[in-house]
Structures are given as C-alpha cells and as structure tokens.
Amino acid sequence: MKQDVSVTRLRLLLVGLALALVAVGGFLIGIFSAIKCGVKPGGPRAQLLNGTTMANIFRFQGSKACMFLAADGSRDEGMGQVQWVEEHPYPRNALLEENGRWIRVNESGSYLVFVQAVYKLNGCVSTQLGIKTVVKYAERTEEFSSIFETWRGTGGPCGEGEKGEEADVVLSHPVLLWMEKEDRLTVNATHRELMDYETRPISSFLTLFKYSD
C-alpha cells in the first residue's frame, strides 16, 4: 500500500511539472513569436500595456524621440494637472509647454508614456489617489487611461488629531498612445500637495519615448 501511494504521488508530481512546463512554454512562445506591436493610424489611439506588449516594445525601437521629466512642487489638493520640469538635458522631438503642464510632440507615431507618483501619506488618514493621462488632438481632448487607489492607512491605533506613521504609496501607469505631430499630452493627478518632490534619485516622474512611426 505504501508503495502504491508513493507511486501515485510521483505520478502526480510529474504531471504537475509537465503542466507547469507547458504553461511556461506557451508564455514564452506568446512573447517571442508576437508580431511587432504598435498603435496604428485608423486603429485605437491608446493601448494599455502588459508583459507581451512591453516585450515587443523593447525588441523594436523605431525612433530616438524621448523626454524625462520630474514632477514639480504643487500645493493643490483636487484633481488637476501635474507640473513638470525637464531633467534629461537633451529632450528630443518633444517640448514642455504652458508652465510645464503640457507636452507637445513634433513627430507622428506611437509613444510610450510611463508616469510614476510617490505620495507621502499620513498613516491615520484614508486617502483617494489617482492619475489620468489626457491627450489633446486637433479635433478633441480625450482622457485615455487612469489608475486609482484608496489608501486606508497603516492600520495602527490613531487618536483624534494624530498623524500616525508616514507611509510612501506609489502609483505607476504605462500607456502606449498614437499621437499626431503637434498633439499634446498632460497628466492629471489627485493630492498633488502630497507628492514626493524632494527625494533623489527622482521618485515622481514622467518618461516618454517614441516607439514607432
């Protein structure tokens, strides 16, 4: 009986390993056999990213257009535009306009935009956080993507008026956008007064680069 149980367990283990290998193999095939990804004219103008699309982006880089920006200080509490300052010394084919709140691209194409915001939050206070990417085309303005999170505190004991332990909360959001020449991009965020503007290396930032024509 003990031998039969051992044999059965061995068979189950081998079957489990085989299924795991099949799953991993399928995942790898899906990534490395995928065709070149992008957002083309006439199709959707925005695409959220996953493991497969990110893999394809870094296999096929079509242009050197790029920009790296740091979030600038703000005391505003409501949802509104994030103000940026240029950190990369040589931004290419993109311009920061209107007091650092809008980014204008000089070439049509698919652009990868990655935004990260680090918030310094009171451990005793529940806070609703959010980031939105907005694009102004010649014919209209569209909110393309967003990410939201409700910070519910550290869970420690908090008396009335107490601040509790400070906590860092990170929101990050990648999106692939089709943009025409002269189109503009802005980022809206909640509680900009709570963002971390001081930490170095920079923790609240936006990076943009042109993925393909």
| Mean pLDDT rounded to a whole number for the chain | 74
Q: State the DSSP string of 19-54.
A: HHHHHHHHHHHHHHTPPPP---TTS-SEEE--HHHH
Percent of the chain with pLDDT over 70: 63
Residue spans per domain, the chain: 1-33, 46-212
pLDDT of 207 > 80? The answer is yes
Q: How far apart are CA 159 and CA 157, in angstroms?
A: 7
- CATH number of the domain at 46-212, out of 2.60.120.40, 3.40.50.300, 1.10.1740.10, 2.60.40.420? 2.60.120.40
- Greater confidence (136 vs 15) lies with 136
Please say whether the beta carbons of 130 and 172 come within 8 A.
Answer: no
Cα torsion angle, 193, 167, 198, 188, sign: negative
Q: Are strands 166-179 and 109-122 parallel, antiparallel or unpaired?
A: antiparallel
The per-residue pLDDT for range 72-96, each reduced to its tens digit, is 988 788 899 999 998 876 667 889 9
Residue 14, both tokens: 């081998």
Count of H-run helices and E-run strands, the chain: 2, 12
pLDDT of 162 > 70? The answer is no
- Greater confidence (4 vs 87) lies with 87
pLDDT of 99 > 90? The answer is no
- What is the distance between the terminal CA atoms of the chain, rounded to a whole angstrom? 67
Burial of residue 39 (CB within 10 Å: 0-12, 13-18, 19+) is buried
Please say whether the beta carbons of 36 and 60 come within 8 A.
Answer: yes
